[in-house]
Structure 1
Amino acid sequence: MAVLGAALAADHRELIAGAALVLGARRHLDAAGVRPERALALGPLAPALDALDALLAAEPQARAVVLASGDPGFFGIVRALAERFGPDALDVRPGTSSIAEAFARLGLPWDDAVVVSAHGRDPRPAFNVCRARRKTAVLTAPGAGPAELGAALLATPGIERRLVVARDLGSARERIERVTPAQAAARDWPGVHVLLCLAVDGPAVGPVRSVAGDLGGPPGGWALAEERFEHRDAMVTKAEVRALALARLGPRLGELVWDVGAGSGSVAVECARLGAAVVAVERAEDGVRRVRANARAHDVDVSVVHGSAPTALAGLPAPDAVFIGGGGADLPDIVAACAERARRTVVVTLAAVDRVPGVRAALLASGFTAEGVQLQASRLAPLPGGVTRLAATNPVFVLWGSRPPPDPRPRAPHAHHTRVVEPSGDTL
């Protein structure tokens, strides 16, 4: 079975002419001049794979050809074909990736870009990667395109991005448009596109790298020393506490984390360093300034909202995880408001034992689990004469709750829930 980048069809006319069945989007089949009796224009993918199965069962030596856009091994049909028929059954001949084409039009390298697909997938990870990373390429789809991404960026103030929308790359209809998030959100964008999301400031060409894409863990590790953050009167989450909070939050690329009652923003900054998009909510004006200063010092993007929870949470995009740094008598209400929106996890740190029952009750009432520990670390400290003592830090309670996973039992499919997916490479 041959899998061709559609742009290569002219170079493989003999291969296509000898195929018993040619699958592809209608425009690809028409462009390749495939006769109707041998063509299968794709809508839903499952019937196409069933047709291939039937052909190969009836004629084991028959040749089939699949036409796909761009590089069919990059977010494309090769995955589904390899899972169904095995890699050894495939003869893949890729075209140029649409991502490579888009960056080439701008004269930019893309080994330092993160590539994410919103085609046939939940678009929220793509939106969050664009919030967190300063050079991102997005493969879009109707309902998850430039307008939706522009609106998502507008919902997180302080994340400055410019967008480049590339469509019909390599054709006579090719068009490259540079727009702001507000301009993108205000327009209709029919069809699918390659969308580049780039930082407004900073160098367009980064330093030489040896690893492409996202580099994984941050340099210098995590749970950084308090001295790495600007703070007031030691009002900063201690490294030992922060280590456990980060472990329970599990921040990662493609997710959104709220840091509510951010204070110095140490947790917000650490989550951003680990790849997550972050919104920090802080009611004190000097605290807002510190969060922004710490984000700049660690070269990460954090959206900072000046306001008090739970009121300030209303207009924010829903988070995957929430960190809440203490609070007063209204802490259970804040926890409940956060748990209502959080998809996965809520973590709370607090010093007052009296607040623990209210936090646990708020988590349980929201359908979360409720677990916790008390942490008290004693650090090595020097004494005169070259000896060492243990210096105790203040005890802190760390409570966390997780939303139970969805019921894994399969549900009967409904016809109106069928997803239409064309065979594609990195874009259609």
Structure 2
Amino acid sequence: MITVIGFDGSPLSEQARAALACATLVVGGQRHLDAVPVPESAARLVLGALDGLYEALPSHENVCVIASGDPGFFGIVRRLREKDLDIRVLSAPSSVATAFAAIGLSWDDAIVVSAHGRELRPVANVCRAFPKVAVLTGPGAGARELGALLPDRTFVVAQRLGHPDQRIATLSSHAAAHSEFADPHVLLCLDESRLTSERGWIAGFGGVPGTWALGESEFAHRDSMITKSEVRALALAKLGPRPGRLVWDIGAGSGSVGIECARFGAAVVAVERDAESCDRIRANAAAHGVAVEVVTASASASVFDRLPRPDAVFVGGGGVDVIAACAETPAAVVVVALAAIERVPEAISLLTKSGRTADGVLLQSSRLSALPGDAHRFAAANPVFLLWGERP
């Protein structure tokens, strides 16, 4: 029998003490082994890679594994279950729950991500997209490193939770980038301008609220300068927005494409040269309750060099140079909307030259329109060429 004991620095339960008293092998990090009452007769194994634990198991009938907080929450329980081992779990509160409790903030609407042993960029993208994110950090992937990747956010860094030297620090993401923190620590990344007191019914990210490919009337726009919903529907399908991905919306106009991507949980950066349109994008994003970082600038390679790396790019405005620069990004897919047929061959050529497989469609739609006398017709909308280039 393997008993997995969650430890948060509090006195152990009677069950946990009884399991330890009978153990012939106790496994855990060095700080855990130093903190719990390990019997003198029991062997100790400092947990690193799990191979050492698996090799030791045949020699012991009663094994205790000490893990932080709730071992079933981004913890060791999953790894042990994958080996079909007979386990019993005695849990403690998760470090995330403890961190939110320390600042008196509810967390049923928080997104929880793990940076431990994982690529940091998708974690940063989630922090860009959502107003309340808890990050389980790891070596080289903590508050300092995330602070260097993020725009202005409030960081709450909960260090050494459950230990006598526990410390909660609240600071800006920019300040965190130049600070040192004790390990282990839990990071709460907050966009305080978007925190809400609304009571929900589902924990974490609830998916897209309602429908997508929203009608043009759902966005403020100038002189119908907006990607039509039929075009937006296919563009969204090709861009594949979801939590952890970052989308560029280039020549954003009203920001409708980027805002819809944000509703799917993606982080979004919109580039638009017109200052009035930029204000409109911010207002539209706020109306839909999502975050879109707006850059007021003419789209160019020099501007793109300063942006976070994209996973997908939508080009709704800009010339040949803009398409070429976007095609050279590491994004998995670049989607281009064009009205003029003369620009299509060159756009296809640029996507192909960048090592992408190019494809596209001509979208022609007719919308139901009322006529006098309770009659109707289908009125044709302007056709749009939608091209996309994907990397193998």
Q: Distance in 2 between matches of 1:202 and 1:315?
A: 25
TM-superposed CA distance for 1:202, in Å, is 4.5
Task: State which drifts further: 365-374 or 377-386.
Answer: 365-374
Q: Distance in 2 between matches of 1:81 and 1:51?
A: 14
Q: List aligned pairs for 1:14-413, cutoff 5 A.
A: 14-34=18-38, 35=40, 38-52=43-57, 55=58, 62-86=61-85, 89-154=86-151, 160-203=152-195, 206-218=197-209, 220-310=210-300, 311-328=302-319, 331=320, 333-404=321-392
| Correspondence for 1:4 | 5
TM-superposed CA distance for 1:9, in Å, is 4.5
- What SS does the corresponding residue of 1:280 show, helix, strand or coil? strand
8 Å contact from structure 1 (residues 369, 401) kept in 2: yes
Q: Distance in 1 between matches of 2:335 and 2:56?
A: 50
TM-score normalized by the length of structure 2: 0.94
TM-superposed CA distance for 1:49, in Å, is 2.9
- What SS does the corresponding residue of 1:85 show, helix, strand or coil? coil
TM-superposed CA distance for 1:18, in Å, is 1.9
TM-score normalized by the length of structure 1: 0.86
What letter corresponds to residue 154 of structure 2 in structure 1?
R
Q: Distance in 2 between matches of 1:337 and 1:49?
A: 51
CA change 1:297–1:5 in 2 (3 A) is same
TM-superposed CA distance for 1:116, in Å, is 0.8
What letter corresponds to residue 207 of structure 1 in structure 2?
E
Render the CA deviation track for 1:208-247: whole Å, top value 9, x for unaligned. 22211111112x3111111111111111000000000001
Render the CA deviation track for 1:165-191: whole Å, top value 9, x for unaligned. 001112111100100111101112242
What letter corresponds to residue 185 of structure 2 in structure 1?
H
Task: State which drifts further: 188-197 or 23-32.
Answer: 188-197
TM-superposed CA distance for 1:33, in Å, is 3.8
Q: Distance in 2 between matches of 1:190 and 1:336?
A: 45
TM-superposed CA distance for 1:265, in Å, is 0.6
TM-superposed CA distance for 1:272, in Å, is 0.9
8 Å contact from structure 1 (residues 373, 399) kept in 2: yes
Render the CA deviation track for 1:89-110: whole Å, top value 9, x for unaligned. 1101111111111111111111
8 Å contact from structure 1 (residues 135, 196) kept in 2: yes
Which sections of structure 2, spanning at least 5 residues, go unmatched?
none
TM-superposed CA distance for 1:37, in Å, is 6.1
TM-superposed CA distance for 1:270, in Å, is 0.7
8 Å contact from structure 1 (residues 370, 400) kept in 2: yes
Q: Distance in 1 between matches of 2:384 and 2:55?
A: 58
Render the CA deviation track for 1:239-287: whole Å, top value 9, x for unaligned. 0000000011010011111001111111011111111110001112222
TM-superposed CA distance for 1:36, in Å, is 8.4
- What SS does the corresponding residue of 1:356 show, helix, strand or coil? helix
8 Å contact from structure 2 (residues 28, 46) kept in 1: yes
CA change 1:394–1:162 in 2 (3 A) is same
8 Å contact from structure 1 (residues 10, 32) kept in 2: no
Task: State which drifts further: 271-280 or 6-15.
Answer: 6-15
8 Å contact from structure 2 (residues 243, 264) kept in 1: yes
Identical columns (%): 55
- What SS does the corresponding residue of 1:292 show, helix, strand or coil? helix
Q: Distance in 1 between matches of 2:391 and 2:291?
A: 27
CA change 1:343–1:43 in 2 (3 A) is farther
Q: Distance in 1 between matches of 2:375 and 2:139?
A: 67
Which sections of structure 1, spanning at least 5 residues, go unmatched?
155-159, 405-428
Task: State which drifts further: 275-284 or 354-363.
Answer: 354-363
- What SS does the corresponding residue of 1:15 show, helix, strand or coil? helix
8 Å contact from structure 1 (residues 327, 350) kept in 2: no
Question: Quick one: higher RCO (CA 8 Å, sep 6+), 1 or 2?
Answer: 1
Render the CA deviation track for 1:325-346: whole Å, top value 9, x for unaligned. 1432xx2x32332233333211
Q: Distance in 2 between matches of 1:17 and 1:25?
A: 19
Task: State which drifts further: 371-380 or 309-318.
Answer: 309-318
